[in-house]
A and B are shown apart, each in its own frame.
Chain A
Amino acid sequence: MAELKLREPLIFELSRPGRRAPSQIPPPHDAAARASAQIPPHLRRSRPPALPEVSELQVVRHFTRLSQMNFSIDSHFYPLGSCTMKYNPKACNSYAMLPEFLARHPLAPEPQGFLACMYELQEMLKEITGMQGVSLTPMAGAQGEFAGVAMIRAYHQGRGDGARTEIIVPQAAHGTNPATAAMCGCSVKEVACDKNGDIDLEALRAAAGPATAGIMLTNPSTLGVFEHRIMEVARIVHDAGGLLYYDGANLNAILGKVRPGDMGFDVIHMNLHKTFSTPHGGGGPGSGAVGVGPRLLPFLPIPLAGRQDGRHRWLGEADLPQSIGRLSGFMGNAGVNLRAYIYMRMLGREGMVRVAQFATLNANYLMSRLIQAGYEAAYPQRRASHEFIVTLRQESRTYQVTAMDVAKRLLDHGFHAPTTYFPLLVPECLLIEPTETETKEELDHFCDAMIAIRREMEQDPEKLRTAPHTMPVRRLDDVRAAKQLDLAFKPAGMNA
């Protein structure tokens, strides 16, 4: 069990007036004063900003200690469903941070080495997904989603069919879907899932019609099962005149096994920070690359990496006059895309297929062992995809413990908790995704912890309800955090 560092003051509390890291201040030493003199007094800053005044060692020590208060993939098994917490190879970081790549200004003449990587990345993503065109510019899954729905809207509007403003989503869909629909001037129509976790085809037939812009789906679904009548779903929506959007959050389950383009999807967004192992970085940066079929090619967000006569260049407004436009100041999260490229070159075509195989093997093994230990899977009669759901609804009634309690107790056992309370359809659920990079022993250790927790439910449930016990802090007061807002350090005697 990994031990976490306990407490660290705020960097502001370590500050002392006049303390500096002098080697970080460039010459000449009167530059600040001279520059200020060039600015009219009423436009000058009146007092220096209240930034920390600390030595370089203090900075290094402080942030090193803070890092020691975190769980991370490098230090802990992290089975967060829908997040694909697989190993982030160090090689991806090292080679993406070669000095020539880091030093390149985005508006400098087109870098042939970097652009070759981007072009090849686009081509590989097309091949893997069965799509005709790829744009690397969306900076996160949510931006990729926005691009996808915006392209669908542009397609219909381009054909004079602007009345198509309804987006169909399954009930178990991720929360960003309605927000994305609204951003594109669309409304959402929910369709129920049946008891096997598949979309209800009758309900879908009733919902699809002349107002349908498209459907947003993920396959395997957010319930962790493969929608095996996907071709029928595609036919229903296409016949009604709508398009199919694929949410690529679960691509890890089918990489190399099935291609969204073959399933009938017209547009897909991928989460390079999930499937292609770019770093999660404590919340970002991600990359939400989008792929499209022939209908949506003209609308891809710019810029794209292009190749002509052996030379690489950016394709922009002149090349794609019908593009939905630019979503970022430059070309998206370039360095993230570069890491994804390096990862894909190391997997190669054989490695791609094995990702899905072993992600699925690990998920099914873990599901079987947990069922054998007495836990209830939400869909026990189905194969797990790369993730599966355990529901604690029985346990919550019998022992008055919740999924949150189990999650917090897992932290004490040295495991990051699985995703809790998503999808919303399943009560008291844990969404568990081991990924392919974990050993059987790690999975067995996790099961041991879950078995111990189960015993604790019967013998000492209060221990669970008050977990975690061994973290730097005990369970935090969310209500207080939202009511008594303390969102920034305020130095004594200063406003804001």
Chain B
Amino acid sequence: MPYIPHTPEDIERMLAVIGAPSIDALFDEIPAALKAGPLEGVPAALCEMEVARLMSERAAADGRLLNFIGAGAYEHHIPAPVWAIATRGEFYSAYTPYQAEASQGTLQLIYEFQSMICALTGMEVANASLYDGASALAEACLMAVRANRGADARRILLPRNVNPTYRKVAQAITHHQGLEFETVDFERRSGRMCLEALQARGGEGCAALIVQQPNFFGTVEEVDALTDWAHAQRLLLIAVVNPTSLACLKAPGEWGGDPDKRGADIVCGEGQPLGVPLASGGPYFGFMATRMQHVRQMPGRIVGRTLDAQGRPGFALTLQAREQHIRRSKATSNICTNQGLMVTAATIYMSLLGAAGLAGVAGACAQRTAELVRALSRIDGVREAFESPRFHEAVLSLDRPAGPVLAALAERGIAGGLDLAPSHPELGHAILVCATETKTDADVEAYARALGALLGAA
């Protein structure tokens, strides 16, 4: 019996203390009609050795592709100490730190995490994480509606160059609360947001403007002008950012040209690049940060530093009553968890890399992507879609549908990028490619050779 330690003697003694004749008798309150039959759809138990074999075969079936896809999840080297420490039983099998005195390790770690997110984003306060980047954006939209007292506005301006799945998730989560998402187009030539279009529209009826930096296409936005416009229109500015990029891009807390109205109001994003493996999509974690004036509208757990009964410093979950209150307000959230294990990994990652290391990773990513774009653009039938500064992703236009090309590349062991036709048909045949610090010159060459052969052969 896996993991159940009871011997027949144990069972006998325990039943005697309870005063029941058998274990079955403990279920005598359950009507006979409800008792389940044998679970035929569940296979018989495997011992650990058999499971190891099974999982090994399944993993082998997946194999490994040379990965050039980004689009919201990024392949980075994860330093060896990160998961060696995160999977220590004291972190791995601990619960939410409700008994603060017995959880100072987790609590201090979260406080350090919150501090690091503030440092990266240039904001004043961060929470202990949310589920992922997409749901973090949904929460940011609900928060903006709560916090923007000015109007009873529930419309959010959502550019078409924000991750398309984030839009779907935001709609699914906020659907019943009357939030509306209005599309803002991007400039075809640059891939960037169109400030003129925003100026023409004005901020009427809106609570917030979302800006993703770098945007879904990898392009770097003119965030100062966008932030100033939003604030002038009395909109909150929601920044969706890539944490690696913050090593070299301006922190959202500093966005804006007007020193009095500086900075994004709510910052969120996907934390996966900070030490969390790709792992078919999860678990990842979302981060969120804001100004102190909005802290009571921010969802999620928050750890604070305080004193104990003898005046020594210690850490505890705080502002918990606020969570109930958020539930009763005009834009409700029900989140009551955080991605503890992933936060542990991310905090260790950020500590190991520090600012210099993160800048090194960011720089290497930018450089590899630049090399990849150069190498692929030399191929007939491939060209860069946008002429704008970028971080570590780029859109390439092809002379034929991308789907079959990517499938053929996959057969050659290369995950070449994301087909943009389903989400952005206006771009024609296009793919989104990404090369991180993990890609070598040989990797880039292999991709270029394979793609050249495919496009040349047809």
Contacts and interface: CB of A to CB of B under 8 A. Distances in A.
Nearest to A495: B124
A114 to B, nearest CB: 5
Interface in B29-54: 29-31, 33-36, 38-48, 51-52, 54
Contacts of B85: 60, 63-64, 67
B389 A39 contact: yes
Interface string B208-219: 000000000000
Contacts of B354: 19-21, 51-54
A489 B111 contact: yes
A369 B115 contact: no
B451 interface: no
Nearest to A73: B93
B197 interface: no
B279 A329 contact: no
A335 B89 CA distance: 17
Interface residues of A, number: 200
B34 A263 contact: yes
Contacts of B91: 67, 70, 72, 281-282
A179 B14 contact: no
A34 B365 CA distance: 11
10 contacts: A32-B360, A39-B220, A91-B51, A95-B56, A113-B59, A124-B41, A176-B334, A228-B29, A281-B91, A352-B42
A33 B283 contact: no
A43 B131 contact: no
A408 interface: yes
A78 interface: yes
Q: Which of B13, B14, B79, B133 is packed against the most chain A CB atoms within 10 Å?
A: B14
B43 A349 contact: yes
Interface residues of B, number: 199
Given A50-B119, A281-B92, A477 B306 contact: yes
Given A334-B282, A496-B122, A364 B35 contact: no
B30 A285 contact: no
A184 interface: yes
Contact of B4 (A8, A349, A354): A354
Contacts of B79: 21, 24, 56
A284 interface: yes
Contact of A439 (B5, B99, B351): B5
A153 B352 contact: no
Given A32-B248, A49-B120, A360-B23, A325 B306 contact: no
Interface in B273-306: 277-285, 292, 295, 301-306
B348 A280 contact: no
B202 interface: no
A424 interface: no
A279 B341 contact: yes
A97 to B, nearest CB: 7
Contact of A488 (B125, B168, B224, B410): B125
A351 interface: yes
A100 B69 contact: no
Q: Count chain A CB atoms within 10 A of each CB in B27, B40, B58 and give the residue with the most.
A: B58
Interface in A359-401: 360-362, 364-365, 368-369, 372, 382-383
B53 to A, nearest CB: 10
Contact of A352 (B39, B118, B128): B39
Contacts of A126: 41
Given A11-B351, A33-B363, A284 B340 contact: yes
A39 B248 contact: yes
Interface string B1-34: 1111110001101110111100100111111011
Given A83-B95, A183-B177, A496-B123, A489 B250 contact: no
Given A27-B364, A489-B115, A107 B69 contact: yes
